Amino acid sequence: MKVEFSAFPKAFSGNVAVFVAADKQLLATAQAADEKAGGALTRALAAGRFTGAKGQTLTVLGNTGDIDRLLLLGVGKGRELDARAAEGLGGVIAAEANAAGHKAVTVVVDPVKGSRLTPGQIAARIALGVRLRNYRFDKYKTKDKPEQKLSLEKLTVVVNGPADARKAYAQLEPTIDAVFFTRDLVSEPANLLYPVEFARRAKELTKLGVKVEVLGEAEMKKLGMHVLLGVGQGSERESQLLVMRWMNGPKNQAPVALIGKGVTFDTGGISLKPAGGMEDMKWDMGGAGAVTGAMRLIAGRKAKANVIAVCALVENMPDGNAQRPGDVVKSMSGQTVEVINTDAEGRLILCDAMWYAQEKFKPQAMVELSTLTGAIIVSLGHERAGLFSNNTPLSNKLRAAGSQIGEKLWRMPLGPKYDKMIDSDIADMKNVSNGRDGGSITAAQFLQRFVQEGVAWAHLDIAGVAWSSKGDSTTPKGATAYGVRLLDKLIADNYER
């Protein structure tokens, strides 16, 4: 998709979107269009429920000169128009354009009184929102009709000071690349994206300066990662440990570690899942996808920070060699685990990945993302990810980052009584507690047992937000890439020098 920023022309043509503020306040370009059309816009506003509230739209046809279709775009109250809101407006424009079958759209950015953003910043964020919304994973579609495909090919953003807008947009382009990279990973079917293939695609990041290392099963066995390896032993696909390093900060600064769960397909193993909906388990690697995308974004914008990422990549399958309920396995940390349920596999692969990251890189903080439990969806639905942490400052940093870019978090409890629920009679711990009570919490307690003393740690359970059945203003239905921008914002605001 082509994006251009231009100064105000003498006249507008084609498909044009203009701003209307709250309480039906026509901004400059909309006012001019209304005068030229003999008050047609004012009459259209009076005839319906459109008020100019944020995200509202109203299409006006005819009596607008060379303009084929005029889209009145509600920007709401000026003080509400922040970066996230501007991106949302872009998403609305993309959705409207594709629904109408438009190939090209012009959006006019007039100054919005009360907004802290300059017109150039608003223009750049709108363009970002259009790009993020204008995504569709259709590489395997062969018979789509034209009306089923995305039509929007060109966006022109008209703004005073287009050079400033271009500069601001250029700084945002790595975000688009990273989000699309993660959406593609998470959307791929499991027969085409398995641990080795995931690792191969991650090696593309070397072009951006990321150092990528991949450990195979033999290397992990030498390291004592028997808990991780146990999950993948029923699959013909070899498990992998993907290690990525971006060390562009001060030499004496300890890195931040990002850990990702990468179960490229999860049948549940011997504790087999029901057939209905099992196809969704191709995105059980959403945590690893987000972490890898975040590394792409951090490197893409040349962040002045030290960040390492470790992703555990496995396929959880049932066969004659699969791990059994009741098996006891030893972790890299030396702690032993009684496997009660082979479908609680995410915590098993993460514990070894977390321990490896701490032993190898001595991070100052560690943030782990995983589509870990269905229980978090029961608790929080699909609006927020669950946040578990042993460190309130880190928790607050994550929540602040998430609120700014629209990836919301809700802090959940941890405590000794929850921890006791995973004590085992024959091993150091079991991977699930008895019953379903507090399922997302006991999963987090399991992971916390593998956090070394002095390490600030956070676990984000993204099971409810990694995939969307509806989408939102900047995310179409499907893979959301939740976590990519959140992690990048965390690094940008707190760990760059």
Residues labelled catalytic: 273, 347
CB atoms within 10 A of CB 168: 20
User: For residue 423, what are the contacts with CB-CB under 8 A and spacing of at least 6?
Assistant: 429, 430
User: For residue 11, what are the contacts with CB-CB under 8 A and spacing of at least 6?
Assistant: 65, 66
Residues 380, 46: Cα–Cα separation, whole Å: 40
CB 241 within 8 A of CB 225: yes
CB atoms within 10 A of CB 423: 12
Rounded to the nearest 10°, the torsion over CA 298, 300, 303, 305 is: 50
Residue by residue, DSSP assigns 46-112 as HTSS----TT-EEEEESSSTTEEEEEEEEEE-GGG--HHHHHHHHHHHHHHHHHHT-SEEEEE----
Q: Which of 74, 53, 63, 59 is nearest to 16 (CA)?
A: 59
CB atoms within 10 A of CB 136: 16
Phi-psi region of 52 (alpha: psi -120 to 50; beta: other; left: phi over 0): left
The pairing of beta strand 154-158 with beta strand 25-26: unpaired
